[in-house]
Amino acid sequence: MKKILYIFDASDWESRIEVAHGAQKKGYDIVIGLINGKEDIAAKFPEFKITHLKKSNNSIGVLSSLHMVKDISDLIKQEEPHIIHAVTLKYAFMCGLAALPFSKEIRKIYTLAGLGYLFRSHDKKSVMLRNILRPILTFILRRQNTTLIFQNQDDLDLMVIGKYARRENTILIKGSGVYLDRFTPAPSNEGEKEPIVLMPTRLVHDKGVNIFIEAARILKERGTIAKFQIAGGETKHNPRAISKAQMLEMLKGGEVEWLGRVNDLPERLSHASLIVYPSHYGEGVPRVLLEACAAGRAIVTTDHAGCKEAVKDGVSGLLVPVRDAHKTADAMEELLNNHEKRISMELESRKLAEEEFDIHIIAKKTLAVYS
């Protein structure tokens, strides 16, 4: 029986579990290295062997990363897997280092779910980190028996053209998928006195939070009657994270309501008339947009890598330029004022989710990579 070692982060591991279940049904022995997960998770999934890996709270930067690499290396030595599948560029990098002492016959599969701050930001720190990490990262991603799964074509092309990856060792699978049965699509209300315009997001500057707030101000000045909301809590371990103090400063004026972190996003989406996500972050295919599609909601988002994969422009939503509050406001206004068009887009959005983003479709495509 062949063994697969997965390296998942607890913050989004539930979306990856369908792949593990599918691999198990195909006869693979499954071990999951779960990073920062709660100890009771293993009891909820007794069908898997789950080993908890903790991020170090006592060290920072390079020391913290080396601590994680050692723990992953120890787990590889203990389990002797035939396949290692890590998700995100960060954990691909760590697993690549951790696997160096072991047999080259171990298959390495890395899902690069967006290139994030490292490749999609152009500030001095990001450029410096890229230059420092380039030799090691290139060695890891181009190594023998390594397959890279990208979630959008722009990321794939960027890494191939930059010679971080070999094109013949790459595959495109759009997004991580979404459980469609957790969402009950229904038409947004016509003639609602105060329709809800919702931005679900982690609080990171590059997600376009300031653009959404500015667009809301523009529409308020035009006399648009709507309730503008941001659903999302503070985030850590991101150089571009928005602090609570910064968020409160940005919200001065009262045009936008900040809901904080929400645990009932499917319900929030069902009550919204429009979903807006003006991101210019290094996305794979943003989960919030997959969920918006599953909920059957029209979307306004940017013509940007990852975001544009979740929208058929003019069919299921509207694409706008990055960092353009006025064009974002125009698109929001257009869909708020045209209920018939919005309803048509809602149907198309759900259709797109069913045809391309169903988690069972994504899992099937991922399992095909193993063989």
Over residues 165-205, the pLDDT tens digits come to: 999 999 999 999 999 999 999 999 877 889 999 999 999 99
Both tokens of residue 5?
Answer: 């070692």
Residue 228 β-bridge partners: 197, 256
* Whole-number average pLDDT of the chain: 93
pLDDT in tens, 327-355: 999 999 999 999 999 999 999 999 999 99
CB atoms within 10 A of CB 246: 15
Distance CA 190, CA 197 (A): 14
Of the pLDDT bands very low, low, confident and very high (cuts 50, 70, 90), residue 59 is: very low
Token pair listed for 19: 């792949």
Question: How many CA atoms, within 13 angstroms, populate the side-chain half-sphere of residue 194?
Answer: 4
Give the pairing of strands 317-320 and 146-150: unpaired
The pLDDT value given to residue 222: 97
Q: Is 132 exposed, middle or buried (0-12, 13-18, 19+ CB in 10 A)?
A: exposed
Q: Set out the domains of the chain in order of their start, with CATH numbers.
A: 3-172 (3.40.50.2000), 180-357 (3.40.50.2000)
pLDDT of residue 235: 87
Cα 11 to Cα 8: distance, rounded to the nearest angstrom: 9
Give, rounded to a whole angstrom, the gap between the first and last alpha carbons of the chain. Answer: 14
pTM given for the model? 0.93
Q: Where residue 239 falls among pLDDT bands split at 50, 70, 90?
A: confident
Residue 255 above 70 pLDDT? yes
Q: Are 299 and 349 in contact (CB under 8 A)?
A: yes
